[in-house]
Amino acid sequence: MDISFIRTKVNDQEYDFSSHAHRERQEEQITTAEIEQVLLTGDIIEKYPKDERGESCLVAAKVKNQPLHIICGKRGSRLLIVTVYRPKPPIWKSYKQRTKELKSRV
């Protein structure tokens, strides 16, 4: 999965939210517009090619000067928003860097 696939699916409105992503979005008061903005302007900062649920990746960007992370994958030919959250310490040193490096980093 690459950023061009993600942006095409968002532009074409060919994406869905998992129940988890929908719940997290509501709890953290993250709008669909903010999610779309991240997916259209952000960077893939981690890839998970061997995820048991299928290939996925983590896209990060700032919206209104607030960092936002979106993990997305594929569901058939559509983009699946798996989860959304605002990165915070102690896991995240910055919005693009984990405290501990992982092998899956891009």
Number of domains in the chain: 1
- The H or E element containing residue 15 is strand 15-17
CA distance 84 to 22: 8
Among candidates 84, 73, 89, which has minimal Cα distance to 34? 84
Domain encompassing residue 10: 3-98
pLDDT for the residue numbered 28:
93
Domain membership of residue 105 (yes or no) is: no
Contact between residue 82 and residue 69 where contact means Cβ atoms under 8 Å apart: no
pLDDT for the residue numbered 58:
96
pLDDT for the residue numbered 22:
95
CA distance 105 to 21: 22
**What CATH number is associated with residue 67?**
3.30.2310.40
Domain membership of residue 53 (yes or no) is: yes
Among candidates 32, 38, 98, which has minimal Cα distance to 64? 38
pLDDT for the residue numbered 11:
98
Whole-structure pTM value: 0.86
Mind listing the pLDDT tens digit of every residue in the chain (106 residues)?
899 999 999 999 999 999 999 999 999 999 999 999 999 999 999 999 988 878 999 999 999 999 999 999 999 999 999 999 998 877 777 777 777 754 444 4
Domain membership of residue 104 (yes or no) is: no
Domain membership of residue 106 (yes or no) is: no
